[in-house]
Structure 1
Amino acid sequence: MRDLAPFLARGRQAHQSLMGEQVRMYRQGEDVFDREAGQTAPGPQADLYGPGPARVRAVAQATGTEEQAGEREVSLRDYEVALPWSTPLPPGTRVLPGDRIEVLASEDARMVGLVLYVKAAQYGGTATAWRINAEDRS
């Protein structure tokens, strides 16, 4: 059997050269009630990655679905977010459904500010990038 390491290294380098977006992945903390203000405020955010390079692309076969969220109709669109294969996570941390990925910079200015919600993360020793399935809930 041939040694795959040199091929994987070249593939990972090539894939990373396609990463034209800058993203940040974080976990939103539980909401906190502020007794003085009488309001609920978002909890603290825990950074999982970034800011760093990524490739964000809509999944071609996804048509999106319309869902009701309270009084509002929400469109769900699927995306694949590819991060460098060697991306570390904080010790003892795994990416969980509901974690968020925010696009900070992109060649496509319309993507800046897009917040995606993680659905699943894919792992693999022979992958050229770390792929995360996410959805746009706007």
Structure 2
Amino acid sequence: MSALEAALAAGRREHDALMIDRVRLWRPGEPVFDRDTGQDVEGPPAVLYEGPARVKPSSRTGEDVQAGEQEVALAEYEVSVPWSTALPDGARLHRGDRVTVLASPDARMPGLELWVMAVQYSATATAWRITTEDRTT
């Protein structure tokens, strides 16, 4: 093992120790026509990952924007999952996928739903970092 590989392995172990939250990464289901209502409804979601994570606010938080006819406050979060995390069937995360916080020592976080905005990949990273936003109204 090279010095770089050893340093990365140590860094990944340390970063994994910071992952005290538990999240679910999921993709909304494809719309399905509901004959009873005559409307399209969201199909069953696809769970891509469920496990440990680190959820922390980004330095860019609290931006107010207009969405439709209401004001929405956008807060950016960085969600880190273990670097070795693989999604099922070679799937990749896409903008619009979701992250739901399932558990956290911070009692205010469970139930927080975040929208994936960007995904970062790097062979020399200590964790897989996902940029998300909370679209609180």
Matched, 1:75 2:70: no
SS of the equivalent of 1:44 reads: coil
Q: Say yes or no: does 1:135 pair with 2:129.
A: no
1:45 maps to amino acid: P
Which residue in 2 is equivalent to 1:112?
Answer: 110
Q: Which residue of 2 aligns with 1:54?
A: 53
The Cα shift of 1:87 comes to 0.3
State the TM-score, normalized to the length of structure 1.
0.91
Letter in 2 for 1:68: Q
- Residues of 2 paired with 1:39 and 1:125: CA distance? 45
Counterpart CA distance in 2 for 1:4 and 1:107 is: 33
Unaligned 5+ segments in structure 1 are none
Segment drifting more, 30-39 vs 15-24: 30-39
Q: Which residue of 2 aligns with 1:7?
A: 7
Deviation, structure 1 residue 70: 2.2
**Partner AA of 1:100 in structure 2:** R
- How big is each residue's C-alpha offset from its partner over 1:88-107, in whole Å with a ceiling of 9 and x where there is no partner? 11123111101000000000
SS at match of 1:67: strand
2:7 partner SS: helix
Instruction: Work out the CA distance in 2 between the residues paired with 1:71 and 1:122.
Output: 32
Could you state the TM-score of these two structures normalised by the residue count of structure 2?
Answer: 0.92
The residue number in structure 2 matching 1:103 is 101
> What is the rounded CA distance, in whole Å, between the counterparts of 1:3 and 1:35 in structure 2?
61
* Backbone CA RMSD of aligned residues: 1.3
Q: After TM superposition, list the pairs within 5 Å mapping 1:81-96 onto structure 2.
A: 81-96=79-94
The number of residue pairs the alignment matches comes to: 135
Residue 39 of structure 1 and its aligned partner are, at CA, apart by: 4.2
